[in-house]
Chains A and B, each alone.
Chain A
């Protein structure tokens, strides 16, 4: 690892390239399957099978199929077979990135998560509470720390970069990518591995259910009749590299990250300020960071959780700042994967820029009163895209936006 002790990187902001990416989510394993799901506007929400939801209002989620993960485990070999499914999701995402852009050597890894290894913590607590079999408790406990799946995945590919795990609730993935972008742009790092992960856990599922933030119905972001979010899970990895260094290596450039903005909205622990000031500030800062004006944005991948409060505040901020820009929330298709969401949605933007289409916002039937948005309703649309903006907002009032641009020499 290169320890930069000279200078503060202020001389010339570097351009930041995305040189590799990988994803696993309810929309599919890998970029190809994800692209197919987006183009076909697939509804990837299913009934929850990982734990009992009998007493919950909401019964569905976007889930990564266990059988597929199990198959991947077999392929990955014996050394990884005992790992938790969270680790396997990241291993799959990192594996795809490694295949796509071999030869990258990250100096730092910055990953976002919301719940870390909570599902392991639950297993331990439940057994403890019921005086059950605690034979596996050391394994559950060992897998609980949030950095563990990241280290497992790095280990599987011989990467030894130090890990920073950002837990800014549902903004974590975008915060991780944004901070990684700033690390490379400042010149202090040449290559940073970034992304996000979260696996479905009972505690979090019941938590959102108790807040009545999740819905027993379909997830309908920005729809007048929206009734709440549906949870999801997944992992996504992006490799960010100094553009000049990447070109010198001769690797394909998938896209550029050009801007990042974040804000803290101190209105309430779980609710955004209804006037949309937090999201607006994050987007404005991202535009300023990218040195572009609002009319340069061709597409917004919204946070769009389909809760009454988020979509109203975010919709207002987007409508005020960006004039009739196409907007979609792909959470409508796969649910809200919390710490992974920002990273998965960055991949969605990447695919949209590469393949020149607008990803759909499914289950959209009626626009919300008083919010003028061009929602990409129900079907993907072909479009000439140069610049996309991706939003993620979370509990604690954290708001983050990144700007991604199609790579042009």
Chain B
């Protein structure tokens, strides 16, 4: 089943809004990496944060008063996507739009604060105001309340592939005639705790740059923000096919799943691939699979510029793919290793008559998925 992308919303460390972020990527901009420290940890980490100014235009809402940053990011992206799609709804159709929310770590900042109180001063000091924000579906609930959605609202949890799994879920939901639209949102907020966890897992680099497809896995830099797309049945830019891929038990197995996905999605000519290469083991898995199956196709990843946004990453990649198809060009791939056996845009690259793209999402926690974007 094909679905059209009717609208998009994007908030990243490079700014708020699809067009401003896209413009900065085309200019070869890289987000500013700020330092995050924590009282009980000796180590500080670098992360790409959303600047406060990016949220300045977000209208106040009672639900956002105490909400974690992740909910604000989601609201900014979701509202932009709906506005961009021209979707208006009220009491007569508020159950005809579904919300599928992709998330990885949830409102981790509040979760940490809530649990810190318990560890430091005991259960009696636990805050009843913070606890509800620790629940995975709190951001989706806030967004549904802001938008007035009364029908289906789902929160999907997973790794960087969760965004594409959420789009697949939206596709399944849209088989039901009672829905006109599905808003898919992916969001993530960064915290020291996440950086430390990924570092202990040997997936994080202490400082940028993120070096994509390098043979030495130097690690990723975490990032935050949100991406949103409105799916409809008709439009000029289609998600032609989703692929739920599967999961890998060992990292070395990721390549085989990626090959299966690419093989299934590349049944017609593919003009470019939006890769999930982020400086970890994923890069070589994708590189080998792509090299083997579609060696002449152009490959791009934005993660050196905007970082690994985990729960938001899949949506960001789809927005990138849609923008590249729609605008006919790709941003420059930053921080390339000198020798890469792939075709990559070393500089801003025009895409002549590009009509088909693959988005690959390989997560660090075992999930892999893909989809094909097309201009009919």
Contact = CB atoms under 8 A, between A and B. Distances in A.
Q: Do A and B bind each other?
A: yes
Given A8-B1, A134-B200, A141-B197, A397 B145 contact: yes
Interface string B156-198: 1111000001001100110111000000000000000100110
Contacts of A244: none
A160 B246 CA distance: 7
A211 B130 CA distance: 10
Interface string A197-239: 0000011001111111000000000000000000000000000
How large, as a class, is the contact surface on chain A?
A: 35 or more
Given A56-B123, A264-B150, A396-B140, A165 B247 contact: no
B268 interface: no
B141 A179 contact: no
Contacts of A186: 172, 175-176
Contacts of A129: 40, 116, 119-120
Contacts of B177: 10
Interface string A85-124: 0000000000000000000000010000110100001101
B137 A167 contact: yes
Interface string A41-82: 000000000000111100000000000000000000000000
Contact of A203 (B95, B114, B140, B245): B114
Interface stretch (B16-24, B317-325, B326-334, B363-371): B363-371
B264 interface: yes
A129 B177 CA distance: 51
A131 interface: yes
Interface in A369-409: 394-398
Contacts of A163: 158, 247, 367
Contacts of B119: 125-126, 129-130
Contacts of A1: 244, 246
B122 A211 contact: no
How large, as a class, is the contact surface on chain B?
A: 35 or more
B132 A128 contact: no
A5 B369 CA distance: 16
A241 interface: no
Contact of A148 (B1, B114, B138, B365): B365
Contacts, number: 208
Contacts of A3: 241, 243-244, 264
A46 B159 CA distance: 35
B376 interface: no
A138 to B, nearest CB: 6
A83 to B, nearest CB: 13
A395 B142 CA distance: 11
Contacts of B243: 3
Nearest to B177: A10
Nearest to A208: B131
Contacts of A131: 40
A253 interface: no
A395 B135 contact: yes
Contact of A211 (B131, B159, B365): B131
B150 A145 contact: no
B154 A179 contact: yes
Contacts of B155: 166-168, 396
A162 B168 CA distance: 11
B362 to A, nearest CB: 13
Interface of A: 1, 3-5, 7-10, 53-56, 108, 113-114, 116, 121-122, 124-126, 128-131, 134, 137-138, 141-142, 144-148, 151, 154-155, 160-169, 175, 179, 182-183, 186, 188, 202-203, 206-212, 262-266, 269-270, 281, 394-398
